[in-house]
Structure formats: C-alpha cells, structure tokens
Amino acid sequence: MTHVRQGRPEEAAALTALALRSKAHWGYDEAFMAACRDELTVRPGELTGGRVLVAEDDGRVLGFTTLAGEPPTGSLGMMFVEPDAIGRGTGRLLFEQTLAHARGLGFVRLTIDADPNAEPFYSAMGAERIGATPSGSIPGRELPLLEIGLG
C-alpha cells in the first residue's frame, strides 16, 4: 500500500534519478535532458526542512514533491512520479498529501510551473492556468503557470 512520508537527505541522489526518469518519460531528447539536469537535481540540504514528501510502496519510492516559498504563498517546486506508476493513483495521492501538508505549514495558495505534459493532471486536480512562465533551463521555452488555492 502506498503511503506518503517526509523525504530524507540520503535520498537526494535517488530522487534526482527518479526526476530524470520521469521527465524523460515524455520523450525529451538527450540535449533537453542535459539542459534540465541541474534544475532536476535534488540536493541533500533540500531534504532537511520538511518540504519534501515521498510516496513509497513496500520500500520502493514511487514519487516525490517539493514545496518552495514562504507562507502564505508558495509553489510546488517539483513533482515527479516513476514512469511505471503514472496513471495508477500515485500522483493523485502525493498531490493531495502535499496540499494538506502545505496547508499545515500555513500556505493558502501554490503556483505550479508545469511541464506541458503535466498540465492536464494539475487541471484535473483543481489547479487553474493563470499564464505562462519562462523555463529555468531551456532558453525561449515557456511553461504553463498554474495556481491552486488551499482554502
């Protein structure tokens, strides 16, 4: 049974590898993936502040999220699910638990810089598109900018 827990600093490399596998699932080429590597790297220090949640099933990490910013407004920094777990409810569970965790930290609104392939998921979860934002790693690329209220 899948459950959600806090991330641990010793998981940084494994979460980075998961993020890269999940991003590559959408068919991006090697040059694109190389350009995104730094942006998709999870550092051990990011796993010490209670802002990373991990979905796990029988000891296997299936996905993770990160929260950024300071209450009341923040952002979903990352959300990645193992390719073989996409479409099986892991993302929904992880997203719902992340929203509940964010509420508990005092957030009332989160923005999401979404990969275009993930926008339908976030929309189905209640996020609304509010514009576009430049990619942090691919010059000239714009990403859907979404927002979700936690009220």
Separation between Cα atoms, residue 125 and residue 141, nearest integer Å: 24
Distance CA 16, CA 80 (A): 10
d(CA 79, CA 136): 16
Quick: pLDDT tens for 84-123.
999 999 999 999 999 999 999 999 999 999 999 999 999 9
Global confidence as pTM: 0.96
Partnered with residue 53 across adjacent β-strands are 6, 65
Could you tell me if 35 and 24 are in contact, meaning their C-beta atoms sit under 8 angstroms apart?
Answer: no
The tens digit of pLDDT for each residue in 48-97 reads: 889 999 999 999 999 999 999 999 999 999 999 999 999 999 999 999 99
Fold entry, domain 2-149: Aminopeptidase (3.40.630)
- Domain layout of the chain by residue ranges: 2-149
Residue 22 has pLDDT above 90, yes or no: yes
